[in-house]
Amino acid sequence: MNSRLLAHTCNILKREKKQKLSFDTGTGTFTKGLMVSGATSKATAVIDKVSGSTSGYLVLKNVTGTFQNDEALTDTGTGAAVANGVCSDYQNSYGEYEYYWPIDQSSVDCRFYYAGNKGQGKTRVIHETGQMIDLPLSVILPGTVTVASAEYRIDGTSGPFQEVYSIETCYSVSGRSAVDHYEAVLKAVQ
């Protein structure tokens, strides 16, 4: 893939499950948005939700390391308690897993374009039924990235494409001996 054609940049976001960590013997109040750490394991995470004060659970994002049962937990504020178990995938009151989208690959060279438009910008075309339809936004990514539909999103960081997009379809384009590049059709995340 000719790098001169990749005139834009993006971050590639990867879907991750939020984690639940139960606690008891709380002596301080945990605060959403602060970093929590384990005294023994040195594991850390960002607190996304707090349920309870002297006992309950934390919903965590960006977990690094492995929290241990019965270790002291503290956040960067006043939160303090003891872990009651280990992390597990968090399910909300409807039994659904909750996800977040951290950056997996940053500052990736790419090229945004409107498919089927021969570089003339976003326009509407008339479908054979007479209905006006928008051309889909697409992106070309280098063959060295990791990307797939549903598990990844594109966060445009340049020009008029500074939005987060879901990947509707994604396919690899092979060169002579390996994947040359990926092409993906995008849809803005509401």
Q: Cβ distance 154 to 12 under 8 Å?
A: yes
* Residue 140 and residue 175 in one domain: yes
* Residue 10 and residue 24 in one domain: no
* Residue 116 and residue 90 in one domain: no
* Residue 73 and residue 130 in one domain: no
* Residue 44 and residue 111 in one domain: no
* Residue 19, pLDDT score: 98
Q: Higher pLDDT residue, 57 or 125? A: 57
Give the integer Cα–Cα distance in Å for 185 and 94: 31
Give the integer Cα–Cα distance in Å for 136 and 139: 10
pTM score of the predicted model: 0.80
Which residues constitute the domain of residue 69? 19-97
Q: Which residues contact 25 (CB under 8 A, 6 or more apart)?
A: 54, 55, 81, 82
* Residue 56 and residue 93 in one domain: yes
Our count of domains for the chain comes to: 2
* Residue 126 and residue 180 in one domain: yes
Q: Which of 69, 97, 125 is the last residue of a domain?
A: 97
* Residue 170, pLDDT score: 94
Q: How far is CA 28 from each of CA 12, 57, 68, 78, rounded to the nearest angstrom?
A: 37, 13, 19, 5
Q: Cβ distance 108 to 145 under 8 Å?
A: yes
Structure tokens at 55: 């006992």
Give the integer Cα–Cα distance in Å for 155 and 104: 11
- pLDDT, one tens digit per residue, over 31-49 is 999 999 999 999 999 999 9
CATH at residue 181: 2.40.10
- pLDDT, one tens digit per residue, over 68-96 is 999 999 999 999 999 999 999 999 999 99
The C-alpha angle 149, 164, 184, rounded to 5 degrees, equals 35
Per-residue pLDDT band at 6 (split at 50, 70, 90)? confident
Q: Which residues contact 134 (CB under 8 A, 6 or more apart)?
A: 122, 124
- pLDDT, one tens digit per residue, over 110-168 is 999 987 655 445 555 555 666 656 678 999 999 999 998 889 999 999 888 999 999 99
Structure tokens at 132: 């006006």
* Residue 90 and residue 146 in one domain: no
Q: Which residues contact 145 (CB under 8 A, 6 or more apart)?
A: 12, 105, 108, 182
Q: Which of 63, 97, 131 is the last residue of a domain?
A: 97
Per-residue pLDDT band at 4 (split at 50, 70, 90)? low
* Residue 30 and residue 92 in one domain: yes
Per-residue pLDDT band at 10 (split at 50, 70, 90)? very high
* Residue 125 and residue 150 in one domain: yes
Give the integer Cα–Cα distance in Å for 86 and 65: 11
Q: Which of 64, 97, 130 is the last residue of a domain?
A: 97
Q: Cβ distance 44 to 83 under 8 Å?
A: no
* Residue 174, pLDDT score: 87
* Residue 26 and residue 59 in one domain: yes
* Residue 87 and residue 113 in one domain: no
